[in-house]
Amino acid sequence: MIPMLVVSAIAGLGLLRLHRLAFPSAPALVEQAARWERARARAGRRARSEAAPEDLTWSQRAAEWFAENLRSRRPDDLQTYERDLAVTGQAMEEWLAKLLLWFLIGLLGPFVLVLLANAGGLGIPLIAGPILGVLGAVVAVIGEVRELREVAAKRREELCDALSDFLDLVVMSMEGGRSHADALPDIAQIGTGWTFHVLHDAIDNARPNGMTPWEALGEVGERFGVVELLDLRASLNLAQDEGTSIRNSLIARAQSMRDARLADAYARANKSTDAMRNNLMVMALVAAAYVILARVLFLFTA
């Protein structure tokens, strides 16, 4: 009886497997499209790396291999770092190569110092080298990632400030009688700095690529992780779909960004005021403790 049950179970599993092979389930369109996009991007990066010179260092080759594995296995986790690197103007492979070098310095540096100290007769336990090396490697990686986040946040803030000024100038130009199609590229060309260069390149390349200027700016927002550019694209697309005046939408968006900048400036001013007040209180307490401690010591030693 039991052998028949085993044979029946094996036959049922085989038939189920044959049915799945003959009639496979349709893959999810979103996952399939994302897989195609990753394969296309991987092919483009491979073509560029093959066209690049062969004199790459070992750290750059290791970084390229590590980046490809991260992109294929953990694309969602890597997306945040890609946006931070894009807004700071760094390549993923270059940043990973630098991160690898700092990791090795933090890992091997304490161990070498312990060996040199023991050679000098200090008698430090050898187990302290690997422990300090692991701590140094973790600190080096965390410090590099934190520096990237801080620089990226500062660059995004600069881009948001430039976008606010850009929208104010566009609205002023439109109130003078110009259309938004003429005002957007002209105002972007007037500004200086890397922020206005990014805006000008996006708007200037919008028409050859068959896009509207705010769609091009929205792509910049997706690449850099700037929410304000995404909101601008959504609001102007909504205004276009509903037949609302684009001029009124730009005026409202410029006003909201201006209010956000004022609120942020007030918050920073209040934070700086609180920090100054706290520093003065700490200084006063230290001075009072110094005077009181001197008097107390004088009484006990008299």
pLDDT at 287 over 80: yes
Amino acid at 153: A
Q: What is the pLDDT of residue 207?
A: 81
Q: What is the pLDDT of residue 262?
A: 82
Which pLDDT tens digit goes with each residue over 30-74?
A: 555 555 555 555 555 455 555 444 555 655 666 666 666 666 666
Q: Which of 8-17, 32-41, 49-58, 226-235 has the highest mean pLDDT?
A: 226-235
Q: What is the pLDDT of residue 150?
A: 92
Q: Give CA–CA dist 268/263, Å, rounded.
A: 9
Q: Give CA–CA dist 188/167, Å, rounded.
A: 10
Q: What is the pLDDT of residue 193?
A: 84
* pTM (two decimals): 0.67
Q: Give CA–CA dist 82/92, Å, rounded.
A: 7
Does residue 45 or residue 239 have the better pLDDT? 239
Q: What is the pLDDT of residue 51?
A: 44
Percent of the chain with pLDDT over 90: 3
Q: Give CA–CA dist 266/260, Å, rounded.
A: 10
CA angle, 214 then 217 then 218, to 5°: 85
Place of tokens 């390149």: 201
pLDDT band at residue 123 using 50, 70 and 90 as cut-offs: confident
Which pair of tokens denotes residue 59? 């750290």
Query: Which of 161, 146, 162, 41 has the alpha carbon at shortest distance from 84?
Result: 146
Q: What is the pLDDT of residue 267?
A: 85
Mean pLDDT on 132-138: 86
pLDDT band at residue 234 using 50, 70 and 90 as cut-offs: confident
Q: What is the pLDDT of residue 147?
A: 92
Q: What is the pLDDT of residue 151?
A: 92
Mean pLDDT on 193-218: 86
Q: What is the pLDDT of residue 216?
A: 87
Q: Give CA–CA dist 296/302, Å, rounded.
A: 10
Which pair of tokens denotes residue 284? 């006063």
Which pLDDT tens digit goes with each residue over 156-185?
A: 988 988 888 888 888 888 877 777 777 888
Q: Give CA–CA dist 113/126, Å, rounded.
A: 11
pLDDT at 81 over 70: yes
The values of phi and psi at residue 285, to 5°, are -65, -40
Does residue 106 or residue 21 have the better pLDDT? 106
Q: Give CA–CA dist 139/239, Å, rounded.
A: 49
